Amino acid sequence: MTSSTHWPVADLLTSSRLALEPLRPGHAPEAFPVFDDVRLHTWTGGAPSTLAELAARYARQAAGRSPDGSQGWLNWMLRRTDDGRLAGTVQATVYRTSAGDLEASLAWVVGVEHQGLGFAREAAAAMADWLRGQGVTVLAAYVHPEHAASAAVARALGLTPTDVVEDGEVRWSSTGG
């Protein structure tokens, strides 16, 4: 495991149709048109970021850890290998549980134009496999109860819904907790 302090550092990952590139601030101009779509906020709320906001967020996230060091931040941009276009992102926030185990909270967003092609499932699976190889023992994701596509991705990762609800989203977990 490569690490920044004690957190894994995102490596270039590949799947059958995607290259998962570690996020860098320079991705913002290319990513902006992919994520500048209000429909992507149907389940999460909010609105699309401006280019400046996206660039600032990517600069923060590319640091690889929270400012206080309590979390590792792993972010990848999804690049289609057939045409080289950015299609979305996957991310994992890694932290230590009270028992000292590594847990990761996962998220994925695929641009509207690229949805329905299985990219979220494919990229999330590549990320989850890599995280397990880095010693992450628990995977979790928060999914809006009406977001069937994200629930299908969580299910494909072996996650199951729990009774925990945060901000209207159900926690799915590999441990049931």
pLDDT exceeds cutoff 70 at 2: no
d(CA 20, CA 3): 18
d(CA 104, CA 123): 15
User: Does residue 162 fall inside a structural domain?
Assistant: no
The total domain count for the chain is 1
DSSP element (H, E) containing 61:
helix 51-61
Q: Which residues contact 55 (CB under 8 A, 6 or more apart)?
A: 25, 28, 29
* CA angle 38–40–44, rounded 5-degree value: 105
Q: What is the CATH number of the domain that holds 49?
A: 3.40.630.30
DSSP element (H, E) containing 28:
helix 28-35
User: Does residue 48 fall inside a structural domain?
Assistant: yes
User: Does residue 148 fall inside a structural domain?
Assistant: no
User: Does residue 149 fall inside a structural domain?
Assistant: no
pLDDT tens, 118-174? 999 999 999 999 999 999 999 999 999 999 999 999 999 999 999 999 999 999 999
The domain in which residue 125 lies consists of 3-139
Q: Is the Cβ–Cβ distance between 12 and 72 less than 8 Å?
A: no
pLDDT band at 85 (very low <50, low <70, confident <90, very high): very high
